[in-house]
């Protein structure tokens, strides 16, 4: 039997493509080298709690078309992400907003906060921020940068803030209202029942084989399909001929605790350099869980080595240039489409992944 599509990777990108292809009557085989579907948005039920095994994922988008689309596969709860940040013994609200500034400087009014920040950045003379440090300083000033950004970012990325691209910090809203919503998007929530169930629904009409490494069986697998949708690491596909793309990895220590509420919030960031983890996730609070136990995960960022699970692409100049070389090679592969976080080497939010997969599906499945 020959499939129309072999989809390499059972994550969000692959699942959206598979759903669209099945809808158009195409036959697909989805494979994944891991023993589960859903890629890094995989959730696993532990003590009745959906645990985000590869890190917390909160769905958010301003695109109504994508929101309507994803709601076909799951009902979303009304969770709004409002992380807390701990710096030494001080507790702050995130993202940077009037609650943060009020606690930091004992003030109440937006104008006071603006004046303090303006005073802290007046001497810096940053016109066009060239890196993350300049971007952060020019937005929030010295105090917020030093307490809530520098340590967290440097341990998260394992690099000096001056060597990191400014766009990373642009993900975070800055507002002068008392609003702790981490995202500016119109729609937000967590799929009730977990992300794995959502992906399972997308793949309902598609054949799936797990525990298969595409690149180790490339010849046989290619012979089974007309076209390939590849969502794995693009450099590995080309046998690293243009160099190895770097990633940042995160390691989780999951723990089941015999208490019903450990930290009172789903996400608490530890912004000091000396605390070895960046955040503690308490999963039940993503779904307003009432269980007697709780599951927490400490998130430790670390260097990534070949063979390990890649998480965050590091989109600095060097890696972007290497990726560009691979992109050119990819364009010459007539029967293969490269997509998703690893296939396109992009720090993608979930809604953007869906958007890209739909775009490609529309082009492919005409
Ligand atoms: N960040 C920070 N302090 C925080 C939280 C985030 O400086 O308490 C910065 C940091 O540079 C991080 C970026 O904002 O890499 C994006 O954080 P986010 O939580 O959006 O990233 P993700 O959830 O994708 O890991």
Tell me what the mean pLDDT of segment 42-71 comes to: 98
Going from the Cα of 278 to the center of ligand 1, the distance in angstroms, rounded, reads 9
Phi-psi region of 131 (alpha: psi -120 to 50; beta: other; left: phi over 0): beta
Whether 347 is catalytic is yes
The answer to whether 341 is a known catalytic residue is no
- When pLDDT is averaged across residues 34-52 and rounded to a whole number, the result is 98
Helix (H), strand (E) at residue 142: helix 132-144
Mean pLDDT of the chain: 97
- Is pLDDT of 107 > 80? yes
Residue 123 has pLDDT above 90, yes or no: no
Residue among 65, 171, 186, 273 flagged as catalytic: 171
pLDDT, mean of residues 89-117 = 98
Distance CA 7, CA 28 (A): 7
Q: Using pLDDT thresholds of 50, 70 and 90, give the confidence band for residue 1.
A: low
85 Cβ closer than 6 Å to some ligand 1 atom:
yes
> Choosing from 33, 146, 159, 175, which is the catalytic residue?
175
pLDDT at 125: 86
Pairing mode, strands 84-87 and 267-270: parallel
Q: What percent of the chain has pLDDT over 70?
A: 100
Q: Best mutation site among 156, 266, 281, 341 for ligand 1, i.e. most ligand atoms within 8 A of its Cβ?
A: 156
Phi, psi for residue 250 in degrees, rounded to 5: -125, 140
pLDDT at 171: 81
| Among 239, 193, 220, 309, residue whose Cα is nearest residue 29 | 220
pLDDT tens for 169-213 read: 988 899 999 999 999 999 999 999 999 999 999 999 999 999 999
For residue 102, what are its two tokens? 């009020």
Is the CB of 271 inside a 6 Å radius of any atom of ligand 1?
Answer: yes
Distances (CA, A) of 214 to 29, 236, 335: 12, 11, 15
Phi, psi of 213 (to 5 degrees): -90, 110
Q: Which alpha helices (DSSP H) does 184-310 contain, by range?
A: 195-202, 218-222, 234-237
Annotate 304-322 with DSSP letters as a single string: --TTSPP-EE--SHHHHHH
List 53, 134, 299, 351, catalytic entry: 299
pLDDT at 84: 98
pLDDT in tens, 267-316: 999 999 999 999 999 999 999 999 999 999 999 999 999 989 999 999 98
Please name the helix (run of DSSP H) or strand (run of DSSP E) that holds residue 6, with its range, or none.
Answer: strand 3-8
Determine the Cα–Cα distance for residues 81 and 232; give it in Å rounded to an integer: 29
* Ligand 1 lined by 250 (C-beta under 6 Å): no
Give the mean pLDDT of 153-161.
95
Residue 275 in contact with ligand 1 by CB distance below 6 A? no
Is pLDDT above 90 for 230? yes
User: Catalytic site residue 299?
Assistant: yes
Q: What's the CA-to-centroid distance between 188 and ligand 1, angstroms?
A: 18
pLDDT interval class at 113 (50, 70, 90): very high
Tokens of 109: 């009014």
How close is the Cα of 95 to the center of ligand 1, in Å? 10
Confidence of residue 37 (pLDDT cuts 50, 70, 90): very high
Cβ of 148 below 6 Å from ligand 1: yes
Please indicate whether residue 94, judged by its CB atom, sits closer than 6 Å to ligand 1.
Answer: yes
pLDDT given for residue 170 in this prediction: 86
Read off the pLDDT band of 234 (50, 70, 90).
Answer: very high
């Amino acid at each position: 039997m020959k499939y129309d599509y072999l989809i390499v990777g059972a994550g969000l990108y692959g699942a959206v493509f598979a759903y669209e292809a099945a809808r158009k009557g195409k036959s697909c085989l989805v494979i994944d080298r891991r023993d589960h579907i859903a890629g890094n948005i995989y959730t696993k039920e532990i003590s009745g709690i959906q645990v985000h095994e590869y890190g917390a994922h909160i769905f958010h988008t301003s695109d109504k078309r994508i929101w309507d689309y994803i709601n076909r596969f799951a009902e979303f709860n009304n969770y709004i992400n409002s992380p807390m940040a701990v710096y030494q013994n001080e507790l702050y609200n995130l993202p940077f907003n009037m609650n943060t500034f009020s606690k930091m400087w004992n003030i109440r009014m937006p104008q006071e906060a603006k004046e303090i920040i303006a005073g802290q950045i007046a001497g810096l003379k940053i016109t066009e921020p060239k890196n993350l440090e300049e971007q952060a300083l020019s937005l929030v000033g010295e105090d917020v940068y030093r307490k809530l950004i520098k340590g967290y970012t440097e341990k998260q990325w394992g690099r000096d803030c001056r060597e990191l691209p400014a766009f990373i910090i642009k993900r975070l809203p800055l507002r002068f209202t008392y609003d702790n919503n981490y995202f500016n998007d119109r729609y937000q929530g967590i799929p009730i029942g977990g992300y794995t169930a959502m992906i399972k629904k997308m793949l309902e009409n598609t054949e799936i084989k797990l525990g298969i490494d595409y690149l180790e069986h490339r010849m046989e697998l290619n012979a089974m399909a007309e076209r390939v949708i590849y969502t794995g690491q693009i450099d590995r596909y080309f046998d690293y001929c243009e160099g190895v793309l770097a990633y940042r990895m995160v390691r989780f220590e999951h723990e089941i605790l015999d208490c019903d509420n450990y930290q009172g919030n789903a996400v608490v960031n530890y912004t000091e350099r000396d605390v070895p983890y960046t955040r503690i996730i308490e999963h039940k609070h993503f779904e307003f869980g009432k269980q007697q136990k709780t599951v927490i995960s400490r998130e430790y960022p670390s260097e990534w080595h070949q063979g390990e699970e890649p998480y965050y692409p590091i989109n600095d100049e060097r890696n972007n240039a290497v990726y560009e070389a691979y992109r050119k090679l990819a364009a010459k592969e007539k029967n293969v489409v490269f997509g998703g976080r690893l296939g396109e080497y992009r720090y993608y939010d979930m809604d953007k992944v869906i958007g890209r997969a739909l775009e490609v599906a529309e082009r492919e499945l005409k």
